[in-house]
Amino acid sequence: MIEISVFLTKVMVLLMKRMSLLMNRTILLMKRMGLLMNKTILLMKRMSLLMNRTILLMKRMGLLMKRIILYLKLYSCYRPSEVQL
């Protein structure tokens, strides 16, 4: 009877060690996942900033194109022989 209880306690100790190892592995994996999530969040922020910059540049380009078209129209009104739209 005593031998069975000793064997069972040894088995329980081994199981507890395995469980602690698995818990350590899962904690490490969770830390890695957290770091990856932080990196992806930073990349998403950078991407949104770049998109905002490109949108602003596109707006500026649109305004410049409107100005150029207006200047060309005005110039063609004064000298229609030189500029043709």
- Quote the CA–CA distance of 13 and 17 in Å, as a whole number: 6
| Integer Cα distance of 23 and 9 in angstroms | 21
Distance CA 22, CA 15 (A): 10
Can you list the residues of the chain whose pLDDT is less than 70? 78-85
* pLDDT attached to residue 80: 56
> DSSP letter string over 10-32?
HHHHHHHHHHHHHHHHHHHHHHH
Q: Is the pTM of this model over 0.75?
A: no
What is the domain partition of the chain in residue ranges?
A: 1-78
pLDDT at residue 19, as a whole number: 97
